[in-house]
Chain A
Amino acid sequence: GENVEQHPSTLSVQEGDSAVIKCTYSDSASNYFPWYKQELGKRPQLIIDIRSNVGEKKDQRIAVTLNKTAKHFSLHITETQPEDSAVYFCAAIINKLTFGTGTQLKVEL
């Protein structure tokens, strides 16, 4: 089955800095890569996703890049704000979603 590794497990940045979270996957047949954000005490919610036919996707301060050859994809958050503090999960899918282990992002003032 699919295996997704996510790094780092914790990330602390200063407000206004950029944050990058990286994931690798094992099965080259995976074709969809979503990112979920889970704020403290709340449910995970999709923030951005990318499909295997594109290399990059942006949505305001958030971007995701995909390198199919290397089987890795990354989440980039620019100009971080305190409300970006949360746990972020990457995932990959063939016939079902496999999640990474999560990254606790803390944006410090």
Chain B
Amino acid sequence: DVKVTQSSRYLVKRTGEKVFLECVQDMDHENMFWYRQDPGLGLRLIYFSYDVKMKEKGDIPEGYSVSREKKERFSLILESASTNQTSMYLCASSSPGHLAKNIQYFGAGTRLSVL
């Protein structure tokens, strides 16, 4: 069974803080993704990675960066948190291969509040 683990379920941070959201998967998946989920906006892709040390911008990368130093871990970084980054953050992973890589497995999410 695929397990995607996000380090925190809830986080409260102050404006201007540097925030790290961690995601680990245990299925040797090459592909990893970070989304944010907001009411009425669905799931929006922030960044994704198809390999170690590789990263690609998604649809809303502004204000975020990522790190993929190891295959199993994909970190989302908010360099200077702002109130408009208050949201639910979801990590996902998928296996390689032309068809299989399309199926994504999600973590439980981190609800971040920036005060």
Instruction: Give me the interface of A with B, judged by CB distance under 8 Å.
Output: 1, 6, 9, 32, 34, 36, 42-46, 49, 51, 89, 93, 96-102
Contact = CB atoms under 8 A, between A and B. Distances in A.
Contacts of A36: 106
Contacts of A46: 103-104
Interface of B: 4, 33, 35, 40-45, 48, 56, 58-59, 90, 99, 102-104, 106-109
Contacts of B90: 43-44
Contacts of B4: 43
Contacts of A99: 35, 42-44
B12 to A, nearest CB: 18
A44 B102 contact: no
B104 to A, nearest CB: 7
Nearest to B44: A99
A57 to B, nearest CB: 14
